[in-house]
Amino acid sequence: MSARFDKLGSPRFDKLGVVIAAIDAYAAFAAPFATFRANRIVPGQARSILEALPLTLGSLLLAILIAGGVVALLRTPLILRLAASVIALFALALLIGIAGSFLTPDGNTFARVAPASGFWLLVFAFTLLLADVLTRLNLTPAARVGVLAVAALAVGALLFSGSWDSLSILKEYASRADGFWSEGLKHVTLALGSLAAAVVVGVPLGVLCHRVERLRDGVLNVLNIIQTIPSIALFGLLIAPLGWIATHVPGAAAIGIRGIGTAPAFVALFLYSLLPVVANTVVGLAGVPRAANDAARGMGMTDRQRLLDVEFPLAFPVILTGIRIVLVQNIGLATIAALIGGGGFGVFVFQGIGQTAMDLVLLGAVPTVALAFAAAIILDAIIEMTSTRRRTDSE
């Protein structure tokens, strides 16, 4: 719709484009592009685009940024805006790596070069432009996952080719490469495992709450109250009962139940996950049209058949929405598990806070955000696909 309006007043300014161009101009000319530090903890010195890059590349980047700003500012066709944002983002991603090796003196392993505020603002501005284009294009769910895959491949290729190796965050990675992947695996296992457990327990509990009205308010109240307990406290509180189980129940310690570590984190995430799963199952089942249930009963379906063949398929998109909430929330909360020795990317975040080494914080925070973001896009796409298929089926 908005795409059609764009063509009407061609010489006029694009409202969002004004914001993007303003950020672009400020970040390109007034803010530092990269920070240089003599070692990983001392305060850094700011470097502008022309200082951080060889003259030709620096001028090329400025030209791309100016052109991108103009394309954003004016009412231009969507395809041009798409090209401008992708080219600008790609140039930024490639050149920050070159700035890293350009600024680091030869053979110096202590010096750290990190992207500075100007770089992040530029990435933000052109991501905003890209997000606007993608929103206006009204992509199908499959296409959105495709865009995500292309972006992931591009980032993966840049990482693999080693063009970012001179940046501080990857230097932190290089000294912890093994730990990074094992903590990452723990993080994903915690988030997905507790989600799976919550689905296995929560969906039947939701069905029960739907069928037995007296149970519903009680269960939902208890789950609501669990949500209000701060995560760090819940993690801590579970240490005692699990420690007790580990020492008193034979075999418990053997399967990995321990007072500190992964077990209390897993149980805490599981408890937090229950509310969205149970509540959405109840809401989804309550939203099944009465006519569908009547028809199923009229056909002589048993309660079990009705549940599996009629109610579940109809309630499925709503239950999936609950699962999406849980997954994104769990990926974020799993960072806190590090406080009680549960591992995960939070290990780097809290180590980094402790050492005031922000690159280490980023090493933990960036993959967490990326995981949560990817999970949200993929599950949103699945939800949309299941609910639109249902709609076309019924027509």
Partner 1 sequence: MKARLPALARLALLVLLVVFIASPGWFEPLLKPLTENGAPAIYNQGSLLTLTLLHLRTVLIATLAATIVAVALAILVTRPAGAEFLPLSRSLVNIGQTFPPVAVLALAVPAVGFGEKPTLIALFLYGLLPIFENALTALTTLPANVMEAARGAGMTGWQRLVKVELPLSAPVILGGIRLSVVISLATATIGSTVAAKTLGEVIIAGLISNNLAFVLQGGLIVAALAVLTYDGLSAIERYAARRMGREAE
CB of 35 to partner 1, least distance (A): 10
What does residue 219 show for φ and ψ, rounded to 5 degrees?
-60, -45
Q: Is 234 in the site for partner 1 (CB under 8 A)?
A: yes
Site string for partner 1, 274-313 (x = CB under 8 A): -----x----------------------------------
Question: Which residues, 6+ apart, have CB-to-CB distance to 76 below 8 Å?
Answer: 6, 14, 84
Residues 191, 202 contacting (CB under 8 angstroms): no
Give the residue with the Cβ less far from partner 1, 246 or 375.
375
Give the residue with the Cβ less far from partner 1, 166 or 368.
368
Helix (H) or strand (E) holding 382, with range, is helix 358-394
CB of 308 to partner 1, least distance (A): 27
β-pairing verdict for 112-115 and 45-47:
unpaired
Residues 202, 269 contacting (CB under 8 angstroms): no
Distance separating alpha carbons of residues 48 and 33, to the nearest angstrom: 5
Site string for partner 1, 61-100 (x = CB under 8 A): ----------------------------------------
Among 332, 378, 382, 386, binds partner 1 (CB under 8 A): 332
Q: Please give the full DSSP string across 125-177, using - where no structure is assigned.
A: HHHHHHHHHHHHHT--HHHHHHHHHHHHHHHHHHHHHTTTTTBHHHHHHHTTH
CB of 61 to partner 1, least distance (A): 24
Site for partner 1 in 355-384 (CB under 8 A): 356, 358, 361-362, 364-365, 368-369, 372-373, 375-376, 380
**Taking Cα atoms as reference points, which of 2, 1, 22 lies closest to residue 75?**
2
Q: Is 155 in the site for partner 1 (CB under 8 A)?
A: no
Among 221, 247, 305, 355, binds partner 1 (CB under 8 A): 221
Q: Is 394 in the site for partner 1 (CB under 8 A)?
A: no
Structure-token pair, residue 99: 């700035």
Helix (H) or strand (E) holding 362, with range, is helix 358-394
CB of 150 to partner 1, least distance (A): 17
Q: Is 219 in the site for partner 1 (CB under 8 A)?
A: no
Among 135, 140, 175, 388, binds partner 1 (CB under 8 A): 135
Q: Is 37 in the site for partner 1 (CB under 8 A)?
A: no
Distance separating alpha carbons of residues 307 and 204, to the nearest angstrom: 11
Among 11, 105, 107, 230, binds partner 1 (CB under 8 A): 230
Alpha carbon distance, N-terminus to C-terminus of the chain: 25
- Give SS3 for 12: coil
**What amino acid occupies position 355?**
Q
Among 18, 42, 67, 131, binds partner 1 (CB under 8 A): 131
Give the residue with the Cβ less far from partner 1, 75 or 390.
75
Among 49, 277, 318, 336, binds partner 1 (CB under 8 A): 336
Question: Which residues, 6+ apart, have CB-to-CB distance to 115 below 8 Å?
Answer: 33, 34, 35, 96, 167
Binding segment toward partner 1, per CB under 8 A, in 102-110, 130-138, 153-161, 293-301:
130-138
Residues of the chain by 3-state class (helix, strand, coil), percent to 5: 80, 5, 20
Binding segment toward partner 1, per CB under 8 A, in 87-95, 160-168, 224-232, 245-253:
224-232
Binding segment toward partner 1, per CB under 8 A, in 100-108, 151-159, 163-171, 214-222:
214-222
Report the 10 Å Cβ neighbour count for 282: 23
Q: Is 154 in the site for partner 1 (CB under 8 A)?
A: no
Give the residue with the Cβ less far from partner 1, 181 or 244.
244
Alpha helices in 260-345 (DSSP H): 262-286, 290-298, 303-305, 312-333
Q: Which residues bind partner 1 (CB under 8 A)?
A: 2, 5, 15-16, 128, 131-132, 134-136, 217, 220-221, 224-225, 227-237, 239-240, 279, 328, 331-333, 335-336, 339-340, 346, 349-350, 352-353, 356, 358, 361-362, 364-365, 368-369, 372-373, 375-376, 380
